[in-house]
Amino acid sequence: MRTVREIVTGWRVYSQIADRLRRRITEGVYPPGSVLPSEAELCAEFGIARNTARRGLAVLEGEGLIVTIPAKGRIVAGGEATPYRYRQIADDLRAQIEVGEIAPGAAVPSEAELRERYAASRNTVRQALAVLQGEGLIVAEHGRGRFVRCWDETS
């Protein structure tokens, strides 16, 4: 944390905040995967209002430099770790489908199996499956389960 207070004044202060934080990210002060200072810390450091800090952070988020993760804060993008567990599960299942470990038409492991395999909650597993369903990789058949979509010539 910086000990020197950098007061920012003038026109479009939020863009100045975004510029300074962007520079810190590119210089490695905040490497990929690191947590940025909180809004309150930025307000104290730059002598700005909380809304100004939020607007500056929103600029960086819009550029894809940072991501906001509930209960964790704003994280510099580009780290190896996927921030959400359901995304990790979806990525792993997608990879299994792409290499043929789970073949077209084959049943996707049940929610109970996936919960045990990934040590995840039912909601987390369901979110991962919903991502794959939304991408069209798997289909749900009421009363039967979820299956890898069969790609035929007409689809």
Kindly report the average pLDDT of the chain as a whole number.
Answer: 86
| Tokens found for residue 82 | 């996927």
CATH code where residue 65 lies: 1.10.10.10
Segments forming the whole domain that contains residue 61? 13-76
Tell whether 18 is covered by a domain: yes
> Across residues 65-82, what is the average pLDDT?
78
pLDDT tens-digit readout, 92-141: 999 999 999 999 999 999 999 999 998 888 998 999 999 999 999 999 99
CB 139 within 8 A of CB 147: yes
> Across residues 41-55, what is the average pLDDT?
93
In terms of Cα–Cα distance, which of 64, 68, 77 is closest to 33? 77
| pLDDT on residue 155 | 46
